[in-house]
Structure 1
């Protein structure tokens, strides 16, 4: 049994020498700098979402004393401006176009129509009349 394990270990070691083994194709370039900025804002907003929402709930609670709400007002300013969800701008993930975004796919209407025409999007069907 020990012999089989050592043979398996040799196979795994040799398979790592094969070109491309262990590498995953990753898209590492963005369409433009505006998209890089939007990705950074989305990441910061997601990281701070829970804490920001808790502090905002305290700020907007009318039942709590004014002193506690004022402390929450001061605490909300500790976050960066890019952590605010309102600063996130919907952009096309392919072209970085800011207008005409189809929300479900996060693509501009132009790219969405092109991919839908060539049957590249799941769940999209051309309209047909009788």
Structure 2
């Protein structure tokens, strides 16, 4: 199980990403635009660099909702493989059954 502060920190990052998404997209559009002036591109780049790093989408980690584990997380259900197997075997996940043939 992950330390309690790690999932909390990741949740703060998710909030920051949601808050900064529109501004970051706008600045990136200016930077990659062919019609924008060179000075506007430099200013947009500097503004983007001054924004908090935790507002970047790549800083968010998919973590298990139950344990906080960062690896082996199924996106469809948001839990790690260990808990998925345990919950599916106990019948706690609707729509999932153990296969037998």
**TM-score normalised by structure 2 residue count:** 0.87
Match of 2:20 in 1: 48
Match of 2:34 in 1: 62
**d(CA) in 2 for partners of 1:91 and 1:74?**
32
**Consecutive unaligned residues in structure 1, runs of 5 or more:** 1-29
Look at both structures and tell me which one has the larger radius of gyration over its CA atoms. 1
- Higher relative contact order structure (alpha carbons within 8 Å, sequence separation ≥ 6): 2
**TM-score normalised by structure 1 residue count:** 0.69
More helix by share: 2
Q: Secondary structure at the match of 2:71?
A: coil
**Consecutive unaligned residues in structure 2, runs of 5 or more:** none
1:35 and 2:7 are equivalent in the alignment: yes
